[in-house]
Amino acid sequence: MKIVAALTDPADAARAQEQGADLIEIRFDLMEGDPPELAEMVTTRCTLPVIATFRSLQEGGRYAGTPEEWFERVKSVLPFVDFVDVERRFSQCAGAIRQEGKVVIASYHSDRMPNLYELFDLERTMRQYGDIVKIIVTPQDRGELIDLITFTNAVTGPLCTGVMGDELRSARAILPVFGSDLAYCRVGQPTSAGQYSIEEFVRLRDLLGME
């Protein structure tokens, strides 16, 4: 299990590495400025692998352009990053990103909780274009959270699962125990409600014996 530091400010990259992050996510959609310049600022401040994310409005971010415009932004930062977060609406771009030697994180974010059949169907569909599948949903109660844990435990390929919001934020610590490979944490401003800080999650990882 790897801790991902989700950045809204390039200046936080060095602090994220010092606090124990394993990867950096640059949330370009939450930053002002030229994406290549922002990416270069991050890579000069730390030596960790970098994820490029331009999260769409439809999935909780601020990017509002077309898939073609999204891909132009992604292409501009490819020299600086190792992974690219690709939502389903941008999946036609995944092949070209992979050809550049980058790892594709196929992502899905929803303010609802799909049932188990839907979760497995999503995973199969996203696995067709993604090297890692990331599914972030919003369980309404512990019963639905158990379904998410069951799904996480059953999937054999590289997977990240998580929850939105504060109410069941403990799931962010529980899901890696059952096979979620990435835990997104905050350094500086959070990019999502309920995120643990990197330092908190380092302690949790040690206490729970997560690898």
Q: Catalytic residue numbers?
A: 109, 134
What single DSSP character describes residue 172?
A: H
* Cβ contact 47:16 at 8 Å: no
Rounded to the nearest 10°, the torsion over CA 112, 148, 62, 29 is 180
First-to-last C-alpha distance (Å) of the chain: 5
Residue 101 CB burial class (10 angstroms; 0-12, 13-18, ≥19): exposed
Residue 146 CB burial class (10 angstroms; 0-12, 13-18, ≥19): exposed
155 phi and psi, to 5 degrees?
-75, 135
For CA atoms 81, 85, 90, 91, give the dihedral sign.
positive
- DSSP notation for 51-104: EEE--BGGGTSSB-S-HHHHHHHHHHHGGG-SEEEEEGGGGGGHHHHHHTTPEE
